[in-house]
A and B are shown apart, each in its own frame.
Chain A
Amino acid sequence: MKSDLLAWPTFLAQHLHADPLFCLTNTVVWLDPLWSADEDGDDFSTALVTLRRVFPAIYTQAIEMLRDQQSVATIENMLCGELNRMGLPVDELVYLSYGIPLPAYGVDLTDSGFYEEHPDLLPLLALFGIAPDTVIPEHAYLMGQTLGDALGQQPDGRYQPVGWLLLWLFAWTGNSIMDLTYEYMAEYEMLAWTPEEVAVALDMIHQADELMAHVSAGQALLLSQPALMKTLAQNIRRLETALKKGQKYDTGRLEWPPLADGFTGTTESDA
């Protein structure tokens, strides 16, 4: 009797699956039970409906966990963990309903907290007349951006990380994740959860992470090359003089010292 009862699910499955319509129905219940759900539910179900469209693998995992009777809190942790692993900063699912969350690596030079987090950048910023709790000089941003662009165009590619360092400090990389702080980013409309905009967001995050690696490399290069720091100071002064006179300065005339041989321009050891 017991074995007969245990055989029932298999018997039922065999007969259900013989009919295309029933088979399709079973497939939907198994793999996509939220197929008709809308985004007006609670945070958890809204998040699942959102992820269903753009990250089927994560959605599948959540459905499996639900079927396995795991708690909503456990599944929420899994969802946040998976999204963070991809670079999307999500602490709570409630934020998904606003749009695609993006990290913000931007610098606020008026925030004293920045200098506490990056004391090693103080000597570099001092060359531009920037220090904690002081008014940022009028031409500092333009000089930083101009020099960043100029360094990026140097034939020696090892200068590029220093260029990225300046472009990051003065919000001129062209990547919003690099150029905006969370406060500024919050003023922009967030990207929508469509496959196309998710691809754009992940591309931006990937690019920003690569650029931040260049920024670190640029910082290492500056610290290890006092001659470069000295030349940078001289070039800042030249640029500042021209800007104060209201003149345009041809950055092609700026001179940069030859870098020591063997320096890779990366954060890896040069040994």
Chain B
Amino acid sequence: MVEDRPDGPAESVSELFDALRRSNCRYALYYLQDRETATLAELATVVASWTQARAADPEIVTPEDRQRVMVSLHHADLPALEDAGLVRYDFDSKTVTAESLPEMADAILEKSLVYERLADREPDHSDRRESGNEKEPNDE
């Protein structure tokens, strides 16, 4: 539980928001809601595809796009989720296991999913912006 972490409740609230402000982290958590575990590869497929499916004009997600998301998950997003105590990430086997969510995280995620639904296809996801909305139609 977040409350039990040695670095204190205030620190852990910061860590929780630091994770949840990242759309990669939220979408990984939405996906993990009904599943105990997922592999890094599986999460990369889901997060890359899902965030692109929300774009105003969805493009095809290529293996290279997915690879970029995998690198971000491995080095930044999953460690942030682990710091916030929301998942366990095994660096060697590259498997992610969902922790039982603290009440606050659970409530926030439930609300944020409703908001993502209302905001459907509004390109307002700040951390998606650099990752490809400007892509030219790749005519070849």
A binds B: no
